[in-house]
Amino acid sequence: MIFSKDSRATSWVESANDSQYPIQNLPYGVFSNSGSSPRVGVALGDQVVDLCALHEAGLFSETSVGSENVFANDALNDFMAMGVEAWRSVRRQLVALLIAERTTDACDVAIEPNTTLREDAGLREKALVTRANVQMHLPSRVGNFVDFYSSKEHATNIGSMFRDPSNPLLPNWVHIPIGYNGRSSSVVVSGTDIVRPSGQTKADAAESPTFGPCRLLDIELEIGFLTGPANKLGSPIPADKAADHLFGMVLVNDWSARDIQKWEYVPLGPFLGKSFATSVSPWVVSLDALAPFRVAQPKQDPPVLPYLRTDGDWGFDIDLRVHLKTATMSEGDTICRTNFKYMYWTIAQQLIHQASNGTNVEPGDLYGSGTVSGPTPDSYGSLIELCWKGTKPIKLSSGEERKFLADGDTVILSGCCHAPNYQVGFGKVCGTVTPAR
């Protein structure tokens, strides 16, 4: 069920209609409340719609998700594995249950309300849970985590700092989506404290390295996507099938220890400087909810190889922000405003390239975009860029300055798509830095 960008559709759940979680969004997440086991729901205004309860009430046809209640699980993986037809069927049935009145705002389809939930007080009490009272969990069991380096602006900035300002991009960057397979065990849900990592570092003037707490702790503002059905080991995913394997998108903060990273990354790449924590937002926004906000991706020059060529627009107009709150501040400052539409390599190309050698993608895998940076200094998605390698400290409203993160600092990433009459929000992903152990 894809709504038009001009949609005026509303829900009978009134809090949804002036919210980042309107009827046009319906992001999936895993929640628990009052000591209950984790289960699957969707966000709607200030409520969580309990999909486990709706399935138990027989409100999803067996043809869409089957008789086994996949929404009673503590992760979305089994639902993700069912594929795009099941996802769309469930979304279509949810919209019918939650929409206020008949509408033709969906693309080429009239939506007829199903009043079963609205008119059953007992079921409403069971299936609608106040969002402020729930605990959110990781949306999927992340078996594999992949992190890319897909912003041309970010790669140019980093190359200018550490390589050659006149030739910042390595020759392969415009031909291949650069990435690495990271560590999934340290992927955590928003709100989890981030312990300052320790590791080997070496000062430029020192003869030998030392071991101790990271001094240059950084963030990376990213958008991630979670995968759907698996491909067989040895079988690539062709470009025209990529969308069938893309379940939805989340916010990602891929924390980075820049001093540890600098010492260890040559010759093999990211290791301890990147593996200590990756934070994700709890709500997964579906590709159908994001469809009205598709835009053309930046021109890729030179043209990519045939296996990476996709049809249609694969950019997404997602407004992204980074907020920094120190331990002395009651409110944080916005230190970055950027947009996902600037990304050079698309999520489809990232997935296609990962599987091009026959890698088997699994349901619930997490793929990070790499730092999202825009064309202006206030749109850079990491502190190393915002402070230009520590030479331009950020001045905060509290009078404090930051080059990199201090203990007690809280970083909050947010994202939202804006239509004339509604918003599709990602919520937030936050983490507070605690001292090294």
Res 230: pLDDT: 98
Length, in residues, of the chain: 437
Are the beta carbons of 301 and 174 closer than 8 angstroms?
yes
Strand partners, 311: none
Question: What does the alpha-carbon distance between residue 319 and residue 418 come to, in Å, rounded to a whole number?
Answer: 8
Distances (CA, A) of 262 to 71, 204, 209: 43, 11, 12
Residue 164's pLDDT band, with cuts at 50, 70 and 90, is: confident
Question: What does the alpha-carbon distance between residue 103 and residue 58 come to, in Å, rounded to a whole number?
Answer: 24
Residue 108 pLDDT > 70: no
Q: Cα-flanking dihedrals φ and ψ of residue 118, to 5°?
A: -60, -35
Residue 25 pLDDT > 90: yes
Compute and round to an integer the Cα radius of gyration of the chain: 22
- Sort strands 221-227 and 366-368 into parallel, antiparallel or unpaired: antiparallel
Are the beta carbons of 156 and 378 closer than 8 angstroms?
no
The answer to whether the peptide bond before residue 267 is cis (omega within 30 degrees of 0) is yes
Structure confidence by residue, pLDDT tens digits, 125-148: 999 999 999 999 999 999 999 999
Res 62: pLDDT: 79
Burial class for 266, CB neighbours closer than 10 Å (0-12, 13-18, 19+): exposed
Structure confidence by residue, pLDDT tens digits, 279-311: 999 999 999 999 999 999 999 999 999 999 999
- Structural domains in the chain? 14-137 (2.30.30.230), 145-434 (3.90.850.10)
Res 105: pLDDT: 81
Q: Return the SS3 of 363.
A: coil
Structure confidence by residue, pLDDT tens digits, 254-265: 999 999 999 999
Amino acid at 28: Y
| H/E segment holding residue 130 | strand 128-130
Mean pLDDT of the chain: 96
Sign of CA pseudo-dihedral 24, 30, 33, 38: positive
Are the beta carbons of 260 and 273 closer than 8 angstroms?
yes
Active site residues: 154
Measure the CA angle with vertex 291, ends 155 and 428; round to 5°: 60
Residue 174's pLDDT band, with cuts at 50, 70 and 90, is: very high
Structure confidence by residue, pLDDT tens digits, 199-216: 999 999 999 999 999 999
